[in-house]
Structure 1
């Protein structure tokens, strides 16, 4: 359940095939043949006691006879042999194994468990069993039994299905398309979809990820990995089973993670073309270029059906087109005329290049005598650089292989119908929208006084201590009132617009999830029924509310505040294991009706970690009252002011180079963090006008294994030299140690003597790096902490609230 040693699978240096064979039709023969035909240029070894040589390669009798430890081994033998083979390989130094065979019965499943036990002491990773394998075309590494030799490309394919993976690889091969990696996970006994997403998120050769899953095994890890990946590159997911009762929950989970869900395999295949070939910066607008009126009508209908928007043709473009292409009819679609020649398509791209509002360029063309497809394609290749937001093409009837390959080489995706092109673009726009949702800065809720939260906590604890496991009516209303929620009687229906039933239920996989239902409006065909993963904020609540047709009839703010407050109640009071109430939405307000809460001392963890309030601390510092706490999305404006207050030299020392102004997306990355993997503690104080000023920040970002966390720190330029850096540093060390991280590491420019001095003073060891101008730091956190002379716990930064909790048990 980590990314540890996954580089052995995706960047192997040597390979062994256990059970390699030349027996026609055997698994060992298929795997060996594909490895050799693929052209992998590292050492390869065959293991089978029946052969001395296999296709010119020496063959050894068993894994213990290998001359060196292979980076990865492909195991093609029966299940009963797996534990012994993995034990031998692990002791030899092999870091990963792909098990191609399947565990079909109880004995086979027991063998899988023994295999994992044999792998664990050596940290050897296991893919499968029942895996088609892993392909990395750039290294010519075909590790398994794919149906074809796979070309190199920019899209990664990750699937739980062998048959579907083979079908997709074959489809892409026939169209000259390739992959950065292709992964068939099999039974996911060890390596699962979350692990692979984590690896691919930072893989420079992967521009987009296409994911096919039926189910997610470790929801919390999957959500963290998917959110990290979707912040960096498009992630599209296909899940079959729309009739599955859990399907709506998967839709909500994908959207919350910034993953675009597609409805059909055809849609996913089209994205191999669009994302693997092109580099399209999809905005909301596009301009359609064609020569024929009938083609223009078909394409326009396709874009309208997909929900895409054709950009208005700006006056500047109309005048420029009239001069450059007098026989064309300016507009959108841009009609070049039935007698247009190939070079006219290139001219259109040049003219539109100066009109940025025209968006992405689409060329849809059916071959004519004056403009054959091959000549139009050459014109697009020659003028592709003018399409600043990308260029996509659709040629009815397809193109020759040489023409297709030339278009691909220049980053121009080619589709066969306007419908496929329009849907492909729709998904790019959808990715931009869900990524913006992931990066949005929510408006802050009114801060709940700690006393109010503590009072709600005390009520829950008192109920449990007296044997009460559910709160109804007035008792439930009293607890929820601490979060600003007003309760009204069921018969109070004045100005009521709709009742939304809100339920918190514990899903076996995703943990606590919300379910929101409401009746249809008038003759609307479908009632509202959507899921939401807590914690929610006003932006996420708005995304949920938008699913109801009633949203346009009410003032949104009271509803959003109520939904967010309900989420805050279950996030803060972990003893609430289930909830059911009615949110009565009125024209200008919202209240709750008939609340019911069920309590328990043990609740499943959220799939997305909520704001960790237990790390908040208020203290006196140099005669001022400051607060040290985790950063929140609402801190973006204060963080912008904090960064802008720093001198250029301080910024250079912090970011290892000259930096300019930070835009919203960069600041969102700094303030919207995944608390399950990253912590940013900020020191703040209140200005005279009541606003919050950020004085300093320290971060620790852990790898998915929680083996190592890397820290970074910045202090406001006018606060340097006052000890704030040490105060923050000691707290991030205490935080990382409390979550079980083994090592804390960091770097500083050699000229940054203040940072170097601070790091060594608090216990880091200075280390060399590959860059002589950079000093590294390293601290073992699982060693006993030694206090310096005269230092108490407060001076060491271990505040009483750290690691503590306001739960009934006193721990989290």
Structure 2
């Protein structure tokens, strides 16, 4: 992941097109024409071995080595077999970036048998050249008059970046956007993406001030961990909207090996984007509709919608679509109803949607909007208009624009029809009001805005902490190590129960027997009905898929109440086992009391592992009442209570729990706690390949596991989201007060203590930290501070027990923000005013410096106010270089952590030096 040399790609001062000629269908020739027609202002050259003097007036050279300048960007349009050699030669002469437009390189093979695109990557890596492609349409940057594509049409300037994967789709998007006046800040496709990928471009675009939103079209994601890290940062500052093709196995770009218990890979992608705060849409039309609302509407104060128009029919269509999407109609207050009754006919419906009548004038539209603006329960209004003989479309549009100005309403419009309303839609476009062609599209776009805001809100929710995730689990570690040492990739039923009990998950009391005689001995002691299950090796694997002939298999008999029934039952279970699983080793019987006061709605929860996306937490239905596979929902670990509840909420079983449980809140909490615990197990014990608890039921104390299965893998699975790094925790004792303090990475659960810490500091300390006086920190402000990814951002806090009891308090904090290239990190540190003389600021800074140095960061930087003497003295003690910046009136601090290794790193340090 790196933005290395991407500035040379997006803003090249010179370009060479390799393989261009004036033949009508020559790819390079089309590129040269587009560069010239776009009035590219930089230096241009062509390379063609045929030795033309020029191509379309651009000087031409026979060989790359004959160029009389080193271009910042080269565009390669030569036959596939020549591309690796061309790329290597470009890198050797010092070219920084190349666009390889040549296609077919994934299907053309080198002598080694590998596709040629891998040879391109190897050639680029040896010389440090960055490559976009192969098989890319190229790149358009309208604001810099750069059209380096073979597209049939250019792009208008705009504030939206489009990063696609398919050239055919990109051409269609360009055509669509140009016809509707939609412009782009950047427009490109990745093609095969052998070097420059989605993550690199997202990192660059997240920092670009000319880009207000990012649109992604993806067919595959080669490195989900890097993609996730980049997109989580970007989505916090600007909308990211994604279309992922290949939703079903038949249309997938590459066959995807599915994890146990999951039938499609698409829900995994859904879970990943939702976790990153990205809005996923179903197609390109929805992408641009969502873009309308996300970039032109304010943040939503409420999620309900008021609808008004000059007819009943369109309003009904809008309400139907809103209901289909789970939306909510706004309720009109009595005052609003009375005010509307004064301007509408006496027979109006007195409800939402509001029928203004077919003869509604522009004045009626304006008055209705002004009335709705006074209703505190109304925040969003869809205004619709159907052409009539008596109405004036344009005047009504102007009236709506004027009425919406200065209100707190989110107003968006739907002017139905085509030939007589186009000018009105232009009015809305110029006024910044989203406008749509039909009610269904308008409501869908609004609900996309609702979904996006929910995802963003989820990123800032403060989770509760219900248990100690960091307890000692050495017993579980020994069980897993012993099984793998024995060459066993499953745990026995007894071992699996012990593992989840070690993590605090309750289980139904279970006894294990080697044969029928031992089962009878258990019954003789219990003297009550028992449930008996036959155990064998195949049943020890979670998410066991039964063949059609095995689906009538019965492995458990319940409520066996006498010795004869037990003997007959055990023989029946043995016959069933031997008939359906003849090759599976026999492991005995398990016995449970038939009545253990558990029951209720049955859940199936667990862990599975995807070969690309790593461990996944799953939750859904158990039993035969509903389709287990259809209800199974997915989330990426690590989870907290907020994320666990969101995972549970997406299941069908959640609705049953709400409606039919005797203790819905307690049961929801119990399942959520279990999901968080499973998430922690996936992180603590990466050898666990799969774990299934089915069913998970309930008793008076919470959730109880009835049956559990665990299998293992000697290749540890790593989550694509960096988990809490427990290994960075450190205990110290303060020299003056003797207080015992833990210095550790921050957790989302620290938000209340973190907020209190900031609000209790002196105004001067706040000014030193934030360069301004602040009296209040909102919950959202502090949530952003504590919810970090432990990758681009790191925060260490110093916490201690409150004097006099009452939990922990925060005494100090240090944070760094690291760029995508791990070149430079910016730090900020703050210590409680009461800690003066304890050396806590020094300890926090030393810990952060050591951490950043160990992860390979080259330089640490920071700005300090000139009168902040304590911080300047600390920086001097730590060896920072300190300089005064006259323009900004700050002291600039720089500390070299590691020596730069590449020329590009040296260039960047020199540029910022």
Change (3 A) 1:497 1:236: farther
Residues 622 and 628 in structure 2, CA contact (< 8 A), matched pair in contact too: no
Give the Cα separation in 2 of the matches to 1:272 and 1:195. Answer: 22
Q: Does 1:368 find its partner at 2:388?
A: yes
Map of 2:437 onto structure 1: 416
Report deviation, 1:640.
0.5
**2-side partners of 1:720 and 1:17: how far apart?**
63
- Quick check: 1:385 aligned with 2:405? yes
- Which residue of structure 1 lines up, in the alignment, with residue 765 of structure 2? 650
**Structure 2 gap ranges (5+):** 250-263, 511-532, 534-591, 901-913
Change (3 A) 1:313 1:191: same
The structural deviation recorded for 1:728 is 0.2
Cα contact 1:559–1:585 (8 A) shared by 2: no
Give how far 1:99 is off: 0.8
Instruction: Say whether residues 1:560 and 2:560 are aligned partners.
Output: no
Provide the residue aligned with 1:610 in structure 2.
Answer: 723
Task: Map 1:405-804; keep pairs closer than 5 Å.
Answer: 405-448=426-469, 450=471, 452-457=472-477, 460-461=480-481, 470-488=490-508, 489=510, 491=592, 494-519=597-622, 522=625, 527-546=630-649, 547-549=651-653, 550-552=656-658, 553=661, 554=664, 555-586=667-698, 588=700, 589-599=702-712, 602-622=715-735, 623-687=738-802, 688-767=804-883, 769=885, 771-782=887-898
Q: Which residue of 2 aligns with 1:169?
A: 174
Name 1:85's counterpart in structure 2. Answer: 86
Task: Tell which structure's C-alpha radius of gyration is larger.
Answer: 2
Q: TM-score, normalised by structure 2?
A: 0.80
> Which residue pairs with 1:136 in the alignment?
141
The answer to whether the 8 A contact 2:695-2:707 is kept is no
Shift of 1:523: 6.6
CA contact (8 A) 2:687 2:717 kept: no
Asked if 2 retains the 8 angstrom alpha-carbon contact of 1:506 and 1:513, the reply is: yes
* Cα distance in 2 between the residues matched to 1:529 and 1:65: 62
The alpha-carbon deviation at position 59 of structure 1 amounts to: 3.4
Look up the match of 1:251: 270
Cα 1:449–1:173 shift into 2, 3 Å: closer
With 724-733 and 122-131 compared, the bigger mean Cα shift is at: 122-131
> Structure 2: how far apart are the matches of 1:306 and 1:435?
19
Q: Could you say what the CA RMSD is over the residues aligned between the two structures, in angstroms?
A: 2.9
Separation in 2, partners of 1:329, 1:151 = 45
Secondary structure in 1 aligned to 2:822?
coil
SS of 1:358's equivalent in the other structure is coil
CA–CA distance in 1 between the matches of 2:202 and 2:404?
Answer: 32
What SS does structure 1 have at the residue aligned with 2:473? Answer: helix
CA distance in 2 between partners of 1:767 and 1:66 (Å): 43
Distance 1:168 1:70, change over 3 A: same
Against the structure 1 CA distance between its residues 525 and 519, is the aligned structure 2 distance closer, same or farther, given a 3 Å change threshold?
Answer: closer
Matched position secondary structure for 1:745: strand
Q: 1:477 to 1:5 in 2, by over 3 A?
A: same
- 2:6 corresponds in structure 1 to 6
In structure 2, what is the Cα distance between the partners aligned to 1:319 and 1:435?
A: 37
Contact 2:378 2:409 in 1 (8 A): no
The residue aligned with 1:55 is: 56
Contact 2:384/2:414, CA 8 A, preserved across alignment: yes
- Normalising to structure 1: TM-score of the pair? 0.90
- Change beyond 3 A, Cα 1:618–1:396: same
Deviation at 1:614, TM superposition (A): 0.7
Change (3 A) 1:18 1:279: farther
Q: Offset of 1:267 from its aligned partner?
A: 1.8
Deviations 1:549-596 (A, max 9, x none): 243224211211112112212212334343333352225421224434
* Higher mean C-alpha displacement, 398-407 vs 141-150: 398-407
Q: 1:69 to 1:388 in 2, by over 3 A?
A: farther
Q: Which residue of 1 aligns with 2:527?
A: none
Residue 355 of structure 1: which of 350, 357, 375 is its match? Answer: 375
- Pair 1:370–1:757, CA change in 2 (3 A): farther
Q: Whole-Å Cα distance in 2 between the matches of residues 282 and 242 of structure 1?
A: 33
Alpha-carbon contact 1:520-1:528 (below 8 Å) kept: no
- Count of aligned pairs: 783
Please state how far the C-alpha of 1:394 moved relative to its aligned partner.
1.0
- Kindly state the Cα deviation for residue 185 of structure 1 after the two structures are TM-superposed: 1.0
Residues of 1 paired with 2:242 and 2:899: CA distance?
A: 43
Decide whether the 8 Å contact of 1:280 with 1:389 is kept in 2.
no
Q: What is the CA-CA distance between 1:169 and the residue it aligns to? A: 1.6
Structure 1: any 5+ residue segments left out of the alignment?
785-812
- The yes-or-no answer on 1:211 pairing with 2:230 is no
